[in-house]
Chains A and B, each alone.
Chain A
Amino acid sequence: MNKNMKEIELHCRPQWMHQYEAIPKEIWNLLLFRFYVATLLCIYLDLFFLLYSFCQSYLLGVLEDTFVSTVLLVIAQPGVVAYGLLLCHNHNKPPIYYQRRIQRLLMEIPLKLLLLGIVLYVSIFTNWMYARFITDIFDDRLDFLLIHGCCCGIAYFLAERGRCLRRFPLPGKDGGLDIWQSIIQNTCNSRKVGLVVGTALASGLITSSWSAGKMFWALVLTILVLTKLHMIKNIYEMIMQKELPLALIPRVHLGDNERLWDPVVLWIWRQNLWPMPEEMIELQLSFHMALDTKCLYGLHLLAAHEFHVAAASKCDFLCPTLFSLAKINPISWQELREVIMGMVDEFVANMKSAIEDTMSPDQLFQRNAKDKPRKEGMRKLSATLPVKTTPKCLPSHDHLIQRKQTPQVRRTGASLCQPIKGCSKCGRPSVPIDGFHLQKNEMCRCCNVPQKVRIWFRCIWECQSQRMSTWSRLIWECLLPAWIHYLFDTDPIAKINHALRCAEHLDDVLRGLVRICIRSLREDKYGLIQSDLMGFLSALVLVEKQLNAAQNMKIVRNGRLCGTHHKLLVGIKHCMFCMLDHFSPYLDDIVQGDEQMLKILKCWMEKLGIPHTHLP
């Protein structure tokens, strides 16, 4: 049984989706189950039409219509599945770093073309199928149906997915509207309907099959096809963004007894009030597991959102479970804390790296000089530095030392081992050694014409290329049109934006953490998180520092920060206000003598308008 389950598991995970190999089995089962449910719901409307057609055909005694409709339905469904799969893949794809806009365009074009192809496939076959269900006026006009289906698909693609591929929105944002209201509103957008009807009119004129009756049914078909396309998107969005079954349980994988259809069986058992079978386990994900699944970006964002909601909601069991388990098992809190602090550390490291890469060499030098500790006291009078260690892979240098020739070596930079090319006649290095400054009498001076010609040509090439780069820069900046610059210019702060986008979940996670800290004032009887408060405050200060550094780089490099920066900045201010407002009477105890941190927090309190006169 276990072997069969493993085979099924491997079979379920396609080999081409190698980036999803690190997904825990519970999360994979949950996503698969949701995907299957959403797909079945999408097919439901078509089944309804098929049933109606079957009844009609049965009454009229014409069964071949139903057969054709069934065939069309079967052909159309792989398109629905492919569309849903593409939406889910796009939703969970992590952010990708592009240095230039043209790179992003080139990488996204295949995906957009695939999406357009799938949408056209679905719209054409759906159009054909629905035309058979509702009227027979188009039975002899397959070309009209084809053109009409294409128009619907293109109109939908341009309106919904044309410019940018968006993820599913988080629950509560744009998803609160009733799904049918949302579908109808999107479908009956007058511009889309007008576009499709206008195109249908034109195609009718082209194929010379235009009549008022056909136009009316074309309008009905348009609404049905657009409704179907919107319904697919909304259903997948609604199902995939449903509430996650998160619980504060240890990060231990559940047994192999869990099957994909267990939630359905459990639901049926519960509705009938039957006793629960022993081998059935209700699927639950641990907070740590869900927050740690970085390869599924969309799920990661959802888990962070759910964590925030659970921490803030008084009806949820996260905080009561956390604080009541303190005496029995503090490991749950420690695991959660480590995951969250790990996210903060990762963000800080990524931002530091991105900011360093974005700095110009002058700025980097100034920053390093500023960071380097000043040497106190008198410096040594000797000008030359002693040779400290010689790399072992320099036989010629050893040879020099063996000959008791001690060159005046001044190390200027890199100290990597590299082979030295020595002259066959005199034994001295024939080419300069990186990191070592040799005097003229230490270098080989034997006549070597090919080498000299090579050096001479190299010097000319370097001079000319410098001159050329100046001219090419002038041409690049002045003569080329704006769209070339837009597409091909390097985004100076692309790395910073990439680091920010990868940390979008941090806003919800930090807000949730702050909610737990505030609730601990009343509910934490055992002082579980008391010792961690200083760490949390330090983490908030660090994150804010990186965000300010990104803001400075934006000004210096004349770039544009993404929306995540503003969102994180607002989130950090919110978190700092909540923490300082609630913990200001206890800051002395929390900070425990760290004068610098106390000073920073006092500055924050002054900026936020929180009284701090009681602090030293």
Chain B
Amino acid sequence: MEQIEDVQRLVSDPRQDQEAGNSIWTTLYNIFHTWKDYLLQLIQGQQYSRWAPLDYSLAIYRKMMGWDEAYIRCIILHPTSVQKAVVTHKDVVHVFGVGPTAQLQSAEQVDLYCGAFRPCTIHELAVGCAAGIFIWRHVTNTLWDNRVLRHAAHIHVTSVQWNEDGTVLVSAALGSNHIIVWDPESGQTIRFLSSSISFLLYSPDFQMLFGASSDSGASVCYVDRRTWKLEQILEGRRVQTAAWTACSTYLLFVQKDDTNLYAITRNSEVDVFLKPQLFWAFELVANLQTTPFAGQELCRSQPHAIAVDPSNVYLAVIYKKQPFVELFKLCMAKHKKLSILGPEYIYSDDNQTLRTGIFPTCVCFEHGKNGQRNLAIAWTSGHFQLKNL
């Protein structure tokens, strides 16, 4: 009897109906909100999704760049003047060269990865870090002002590049799905280029922007007025480091866990068309592991970074855990393959430390005027060396 009454109550009890109605509405409400949030995430969050977990990307990047043992992580040179900056492992940017020296640091500025001086001005530089991009501006004699360019998914910025006249800033971040083009004055994003890139490099003529991923592949973006056209040129290759020759003809690069030096160059189709399609030719330049020197073949470890002289004369290579910088001469003749000649070795000139146990962490050529060539080298001991060539 009680069971029958319970069943009858279940069927005809108005309170039960009311509760059923409320639960249906609650369910509908929850479904509505879930779908709304999902739709918004789909629209807004699609560009924020990562192609790889951030911790994994960070670990690979830090190992690739030798972050743990580097005192000086990055050398930043001004494109036209003698202004210089170095980024240390304590997340401080030391600026020197023109005017009084300065140490730029901020509580938010952690895990500094890269930097670039702004062209057409002496007092401004952009620095990529975990929070985004810090733009430091020299206000008075000793005062530097900063502002931060942020984007929700663009954290751990690993590469920043200015265009020729400093009106546009391009950045790439670890694990991000996009390269972002910024307007530095307003701090707004101009463009999103869909590409998983962690390393950016403008060609010396600023017509192309090379981008490489630490995991796979490389692309080139053709910059022309309002269009930014991406083209993948290397598939499946893990690029460790790259550098353009001064004439923007060749792009030299080294792959991860590889000792070969490669070059890619643009060629146009046989001229039948008014606007021939460009295609990229790939060639092996040299095996850096066993380059002959003084009649002997010395074995080296994997190349860590390369740099090309702005006057197209020298190529500098640093190897992992090798206490020297190897200097080659570039040989670029028309209708001939690119080659490198006669290595020269540069050791640390710091008398206070022994040569063994210290290694170069980063290297770049200074944009010297009047025929001067200087090679800037940062060592693991914290010594900054400027070698005149």
A-to-B contact residues, CB < 8 Å? 171-174, 176-177, 184-185, 188, 190, 193, 212, 243, 309, 312-316, 511, 515, 567, 570, 573-574, 577-578, 581, 608-610
B83 in the interface (beta carbon within 8 A): yes
Q: Which residues of B contact A171 (CB under 8 A)?
A: 226
Q: How far is the CA of A185 from the CA of B44 in the complex (A)?
A: 7
| A177–B192 touching, CB < 8 Å | yes
Q: How far is the CA of A578 from the CA of B121 in the complex (A)?
A: 8
Chain B interface size range: 20 to 34
| B81–A173 touching, CB < 8 Å | no
| A243–B225 touching, CB < 8 Å | yes
Q: How far is the CA of A608 from the CA of B122 in the complex (A)?
A: 6
Q: Which residues of A contact B28 (CB under 8 A)?
A: 212
Q: Name the distance in Å between A485's Cβ and chain B's nearest Cβ.
A: 30
B346 in the interface (beta carbon within 8 A): no
| A174–B190 touching, CB < 8 Å | yes
Q: Which residues of A contact B39 (CB under 8 A)?
A: 188
| A577–B122 touching, CB < 8 Å | yes
Q: Name the distance in Å between A276's Cβ and chain B's nearest Cβ.
A: 16
| A313–B224 touching, CB < 8 Å | yes
Please name 16 pairs of A and B residues whose Cβ atoms are closer than 8 Å in the assembled complex, sorted by A.
A173-B183, A173-B186, A176-B192, A188-B40, A188-B43, A188-B44, A193-B36, A312-B165, A313-B225, A315-B224, A316-B225, A574-B120, A578-B120, A581-B81, A609-B98, A609-B122
User: Main SS of chain B's interface residues?
Assistant: loop
Q: Name the distance in Å between A264's Cβ and chain B's nearest Cβ.
A: 22
Q: Which residues of B contact A567 (CB under 8 A)?
A: 185
| B191–A176 touching, CB < 8 Å | yes
Q: Which listed residue, B44, B164, B226, touches A243 by the CB 8 Å rule?
A: B226
Q: Which residues of A contact B207 (CB under 8 A)?
A: 314-315
B371 in the interface (beta carbon within 8 A): no
Q: Which listed residue, A177, A188, A574, touches B166 by the CB 8 Å rule?
A: A574
| B224–A515 touching, CB < 8 Å | no
| B121–A573 touching, CB < 8 Å | yes
Which B-chain residue is minimally distant from A194 (CB atoms)?
A: B36
Q: How far is the CA of A185 from the CA of B47 in the complex (A)?
A: 12
| B188–A174 touching, CB < 8 Å | yes
Q: Which listed residue, B40, B99, B191, touches A177 by the CB 8 Å rule?
A: B191
Q: Name the distance in Å between B237's Cβ and chain A's nearest Cβ.
A: 29
| B99–A609 touching, CB < 8 Å | yes
B205 in the interface (beta carbon within 8 A): yes
| A184–B121 touching, CB < 8 Å | no
Question: Which 6 pairs of residues, A with B, have the shortest CB-CB distance?
Answer: A176-B191, A609-B122, A609-B98, A176-B190, A574-B120, A577-B120
B80 in the interface (beta carbon within 8 A): yes
| A173–B192 touching, CB < 8 Å | no
| A574–B225 touching, CB < 8 Å | no
| A312–B164 touching, CB < 8 Å | yes
Which B-chain residue is minimally distant from A608 (CB atoms)?
A: B122
Q: Name the distance in Å between A183's Cβ and chain B's nearest Cβ.
A: 10
Q: How far is the CA of A578 from the CA of B40 in the complex (A)?
A: 45
| B225–A315 touching, CB < 8 Å | yes
Q: How far is the CA of A574 from the CA of B167 in the complex (A)?
A: 10
Answer whether A610 and B81 are a contact pair too, CB < 8 Å, given A185-B44, A188-B39, A573-B121: yes
B-to-A contact residues, CB < 8 Å? 25, 28, 36, 39-40, 43-44, 80-81, 83, 98-99, 120-123, 164-166, 181, 183, 185-186, 188-192, 205-207, 224-226
Q: Which residues of B contact A609 (CB under 8 A)?
A: 81, 83, 98-99, 122-123
Q: How far is the CA of A184 from the CA of B98 in the complex (A)?
A: 48
Which A-chain residue is minimally distant from B80 (CB atoms)?
A: A581
Q: Which residues of B contact A176 (CB under 8 A)?
A: 181, 189-192
Q: Name the distance in Å between A301's Cβ and chain B's nearest Cβ.
A: 15
Answer whether A511 and B43 are a contact pair too, CB < 8 Å, given A173-B186, A577-B121: no
| A185–B98 touching, CB < 8 Å | no
Q: How far is the CA of A512 from the CA of B192 in the complex (A)?
A: 26
Which A-chain residue is minimally distant from B29 (CB atoms)?
A: A212
Q: Which residues of A contact B83 (CB under 8 A)?
A: 609
Q: How far is the CA of A314 from the CA of B224 in the complex (A)?
A: 8
Which A-chain residue is minimally distant from B123 (CB atoms)?
A: A609
| A173–B188 touching, CB < 8 Å | yes
Q: How far is the CA of A424 from the CA of B211 in the complex (A)?
A: 97
Q: Which listed residue, A188, A193, A570, touches B185 by the CB 8 Å rule?
A: A570
Q: Which residues of B contact A173 (CB under 8 A)?
A: 183, 186, 188, 190
Q: Which residues of B contact A610 (CB under 8 A)?
A: 81, 122
| B40–A172 touching, CB < 8 Å | no
Answer whether A184 and B43 are a contact pair too, CB < 8 Å, given A313-B225, A315-B225, A581-B80: yes
Q: Name the distance in Å between A400's Cβ and chain B's nearest Cβ.
A: 66
Q: Name the distance in Å between A427's Cβ and chain B's nearest Cβ.
A: 71
Q: Which residues of A contact B43 (CB under 8 A)?
A: 184-185, 188
Q: How far is the CA of A188 from the CA of B45 in the complex (A)?
A: 13
Which A-chain residue is minimally distant from B98 (CB atoms)?
A: A609
Which B-chain residue is minimally distant from A175 (CB atoms)?
A: B190
Known: A176-B189, A609-B123. 18 other contacts (CB 8 A): A173-B188, A174-B190, A176-B181, A176-B190, A177-B189, A177-B192, A188-B40, A188-B43, A190-B40, A212-B25, A309-B226, A313-B225, A515-B165, A577-B121, A578-B120, A609-B98, A609-B122, A610-B122
Q: Which residues of B contact A515 (CB under 8 A)?
A: 165
Q: Name the distance in Å between B225's Cβ and chain A's nearest Cβ.
A: 5
Q: How far is the CA of A316 from the CA of B123 in the complex (A)?
A: 31
| B188–A172 touching, CB < 8 Å | no
Q: How far is the CA of A58 from the CA of B151 in the complex (A)?
A: 51
| Residue among B39, B98, B165 facing the most chain A CB atoms (10 A cut-off) | B165
Q: How far is the CA of A587 from the CA of B8 in the complex (A)?
A: 103
Answer whether A574 and B226 are a contact pair too, CB < 8 Å, given A314-B205, A314-B207, A609-B83: no
Q: Which residues of B contact A316 (CB under 8 A)?
A: 225
Q: How far is the CA of A571 from the CA of B277 in the complex (A)?
A: 37
Answer whether A578 and B165 are a contact pair too, CB < 8 Å, given A188-B39, A309-B225: yes
